Amino acid sequence: MKKCVIIYNPASGKKNKQKENLQVFYDVLRKHGYEAEIKFTSKQKGATKIIKELEPVDLVISAGGDGTLNEVVTGNLQRKERLTLANLPMGTTNDVANMYGYTKNNYIKNLELLLEGVKKNIDVCFIDMTPFVYVACLGDYIDMAYNTPRKLKKKYGKIGYVMYGLKQLRNKINSYRIRYKIDGKTYEGEYSFFFITNASRVAGFDDVYYDVKLDDNKFEVAFCHVKNKVELMKYFILLNNMDAKDVPGITYYQTNNLEIEFLDSPKVSWCIDGEEYKSNKKTFSFSIDRKTKMMLPRKNLVKLFKK
């Protein structure tokens, strides 16, 4: 039989009885020809350590949220012999899983979908030497992704983020002067929000971009200048109905190399895949690695891949 390891984050998502019946995971994997082992994460970066130390196996499944998947991808990129990965969504927002075409909250169905899926090479982006699977972003309120108390996320799911975010609302929104270099050309501007993504879904918003490809050696760049929360609400409404690159006021690029120099020091941290990325630096470089293999459901393959 083939060998599979599930790296399971029991702290992810809302409390759900399906998570308690892990024996079903073994049964489904056995039906598909896999001998399975479940390894539990117990602390931050635990999934990275687990996959780095694994003996070679046929498949590694990240069972958790977007942050857990980031840890698994990070550890895999640090291996000499990279392993084939898969994402089993069990988190709160599950942006990546929704983009990939998984169902909501049915872990057994999702396990079947990935095991019956297709192995594809995906682009993984980097901020300096740190990988992110789908988003690196910076701006006011973005800390909701990593500062929302776990007890709120456990009890209320995505609503927990909203509850925390409402407490942070203020009239003025910070902006930053930057100098950035993209495809050999240098520009300057003042912006409040910075999004570098390789995804069609971000922060629960579907179809932020209508034509994202995960194998095109490109990531999407969006900068915007927002003065207050009223303008911010207008952007939310527009993004709900338009491709981000077509929204007035958003500076958009598609590239595989970007360098941002902050002329004004950021007052907040970057957020990568829902987790805080702390840095005292003022200059950040973005690039792509193209050698990560991922098992994906068949549902959105035509939409997400060039070939």
Sign of the CA dihedral running 252, 253, 257, 258: negative
Q: Are 232 and 139 in contact (CB under 8 A)?
A: no
Mean pLDDT, rounded, for 238-267: 92
- Tell how far CA 246 is from the center of its chain: 23
pLDDT of residue 147: 56
What is the average per-residue pLDDT within 252-270? 94
DSSP per-residue codes, 155-201: HHTHHHHHHHHHHH--SB---EEEEEEETTEEEEEEESEEEEES-S-
Please state, in angstroms and rounded to a whole number, the distance separating the CA atoms of residues 178 and 174.
13
Is the pLDDT assigned to residue 252 strictly greater than 90? yes
* Res 121: pLDDT: 96
Q: What is the per-residue pLDDT for 13?
A: 60
Q: Which CATH superfamily is domain 2-116 in?
A: Probable inorganic polyphosphate/atp-NAD kinase; domain 1 (3.40.50.10330)
Which secondary-structure segment (H or E) carries 296? Answer: strand 283-296
**pLDDT the model gives residue 165:** 57
Mean predicted confidence (pLDDT) in 64-93: 93
Report the candidate in 232, 277, 274 with the shortest Cα–Cα distance to residue 250: 232
CA distance 117 to 110: 10
Question: 45, 68 in Cβ contact below 8 A?
Answer: no
Residue 245: burial class (beta carbons within 10 Å; 0-12, 13-18, 19+): middle
pLDDT tens per residue, range 263-301: 998 888 999 998 899 998 999 999 999 999 999 999 999
Residue 266 per-residue DSSP state: -
pTM for the structure as a whole? 0.88
pLDDT at residue 169 is higher than 70: no
Would you identify the CATH topology of the domain 130-289? Answer: Tumour Suppressor Smad4 (2.60.200)
Is the pLDDT at 52 greater than 80? The verdict is yes
- Looking at per-residue pLDDT, the higher value among 183 and 150 belongs to 183
Q: What local confidence, expressed as pLDDT, does residue 17 receive?
A: 47
Q: What is the mean pLDDT of residues 45-74?
A: 95
**pLDDT-derived band at 154, boundaries 50, 70, 90:** low
Q: What is the mean pLDDT of residues 34-55?
A: 92
Q: What average pLDDT does the chain have?
A: 88
Domain ranges of the chain: 2-116, 130-289
Please report, rounded to a whole number, the percentage of residues in the chain having pLDDT higher than 70.
Answer: 88
- For the chain, what percentages of helix, strand and coil (3-state, to nearest 5) are there? 30, 35, 40
> Three-state DSSP class for 224?
strand
pLDDT tens, residue by residue, 3-20: 999 999 987 765 554 455
In the predicted model, is pLDDT for residue 166 greater than 60? no
144, containing H or E segment:
helix 144-147
Q: What is the separation of C-alpha 292 from the centre of its chain, rounded to a whole number of angstroms?
A: 15
pLDDT confidence band for 93 (50 / 70 / 90): confident
Query: Within 10 Å of residue 170's Cβ, how many Cβ atoms?
Result: 10
pLDDT higher for 216 or 170? Answer: 216
**Rg of the chain over CA atoms, in angstroms?**
19
- CA dihedral angle for residue 278, residue 166, residue 158, residue 122, rounded to 10 degrees: -40
pLDDT, average across residues 203-213: 82
